[in-house]
Amino acid sequence: MFSSAKLSLALLSVAASASAHIALWHNASYGYDDSQPNQSDLVQPLQNLTFDEWWFHGKIDSPPADGAIMNLPSGGTFHGEVACNKALTTWGGQPSKQTEYACDAVGVLHTTDEFGDEPQDVKGCGIGIAYKSDVKDITPEDFTIISVNHTCPWKRNVDFQIPSDLPPCPTGGCHCMWGWIHASDAGTEQNYFVGYRCDVVGATGLISLPQAQVANKCPTDTSNCTVGAKQPHYWLQAEKNNNFQGNFDPPFYNGDYGFSDGAQTDLFEGYLSKRSDVESQKLREDTRRSRVLRRSVGGAKA
């Protein structure tokens, strides 16, 4: 039989697992606590909150340490770590606690899948970027989703391919976000949003990102998919939503909303057609020169 002490520990363990959720961990995140290897506040879900409470996970006044930055390689792959607790990642500095999967129990991944290599009920995560260095100047509409992983969150190590045509960040860097919304059959409906200071390394694009639009739902009628740059999903909050679907109709970062798996290569699609002939020709020439420059730089490095 369990002693009372062992029973208490078991109940605490169950409670911890039941309340666990997920974040993309990086020391460039707002709210990152370098002194706490077991940090878990950034994984808490966001639901029915005011704008100040959910925006940047309520941590906008807790910036990352000086010099901490999430570097996204232009045309390359950002290798990230998603987990229920910082301790499960390399950022926690505790190798014995690091796991293969994002959590040590499948239930807290909010999916009906069992551990394995081909999850079917995982709905995808996305990384977005805002080309503003002052976090207080950023609005929700400034973010553009640039990379999506359809099988995130699942394994702890997760890759995000970065588009090759992104322009450089302004002086002082950019800001990025990570978002995730799980399936409606896998627990209480929730939204996840964490913010970061970031930079696009090796960026040579000459065209600024066009204004991102809300991603339409288009699981069967692809003609309804939003063409071009798309905003993150802001859903189920008390303020500043851009998606107003009901509690049991959550939006996802996957093909159901026009997000391809990997780098979002359609960011400029439909943009040129809206410009004048002169403007469009200039943008095409700028794009061509940008591509030539990238090839030249790549050849020099080789």
What tens digit of pLDDT does each residue of 256-292 get? 999 999 999 999 997 756 655 556 566 666 656 655 5
In a domain, 25, yes or no: yes
Q: What is the pLDDT of residue 295?
A: 56
In a domain, 297, yes or no: yes
Tokens of 189: 């409906």
In a domain, 44, yes or no: yes
Does residue 124 share a domain with residue 159? yes
Look at the chain and report how many structural domains it folds into.
2
Does residue 292 share a domain with residue 144? no
Q: What is the pLDDT of residue 108?
A: 52
Spatial separation of the C-alpha atoms in residues 223 and 221, rounded to whole Å: 5
In a domain, 283, yes or no: yes
The CATH number assigned to the domain holding 66 equals: 2.70.50
Does residue 170 share a domain with residue 300? no
Q: What is the pLDDT of residue 102?
A: 82
Does residue 293 share a domain with residue 223? no
**Domain of 296, in residue numbers:** 272-302
In a domain, 9, yes or no: no
In a domain, 10, yes or no: no
Query: Which residues, 6 or more positions from 45, have their beta carbon under 8 angstroms from its beta carbon?
Result: 21, 188, 190, 191, 192
Half-sphere exposure of 12 (CA within 13 A, CB side): 6
Spatial separation of the C-alpha atoms in residues 244 and 214, rounded to whole Å: 11
Does residue 66 share a domain with residue 213? yes
Does residue 302 share a domain with residue 223? no
Place of tokens 């078991």: 10
Does residue 163 share a domain with residue 293? no
Does residue 282 share a domain with residue 149? no
In a domain, 1, yes or no: no
Q: What is the pLDDT of residue 122?
A: 81
Q: What is the pLDDT of residue 274?
A: 62
In a domain, 14, yes or no: no
What does pTM read for this prediction?
0.84
Does residue 256 share a domain with residue 289? no
Does residue 285 share a domain with residue 243? no
In order along its 302 residues, the chain shows pLDDT tens digits of: 434 433 333 333 333 333 448 999 999 999 999 999 999 999 999 999 999 999 999 999 999 999 999 999 999 999 999 999 999 999 999 999 998 888 875 555 555 444 455 655 588 999 999 999 999 999 999 999 999 999 998 889 999 999 999 999 999 999 999 999 987 765 567 899 999 999 999 999 999 999 999 999 999 999 999 999 999 999 999 999 999 999 899 999 999 999 999 999 999 997 756 655 556 566 666 656 655 555 555 554 44
Does residue 296 share a domain with residue 148? no
Does residue 250 share a domain with residue 165? yes
- Write the DSSP assignment of the chain as a string of letters: ---HHHHHHHHHHHHHHHH---EEE-TTBTT--TT-TT--GGG--B-S--HHHHGGGG-TTSPPPTT--EEEETTSEEEEEEESSGGGSGGGT-GGG--SBSSSSGGGGT-SPPSSS--SS---EEEEEE--S-GGG--GGG-EEEEEETT-SSBSEEEEE--S-PPPPPTT-EEEEEEE---TTSSS--BEEEEEEEEEET----SPPPPPBPPPP-SS-GGGSPPS-BPPP-BSSSS--SB---TTS---SSGGGT--SEE-TTTTTTTGGGS-HHHHHHHHHHHHHHHHHHHHHHHHH-
Per-residue pLDDT tens for 105-145? 555 555 544 445 565 558 899 999 999 999 999 999 999 99
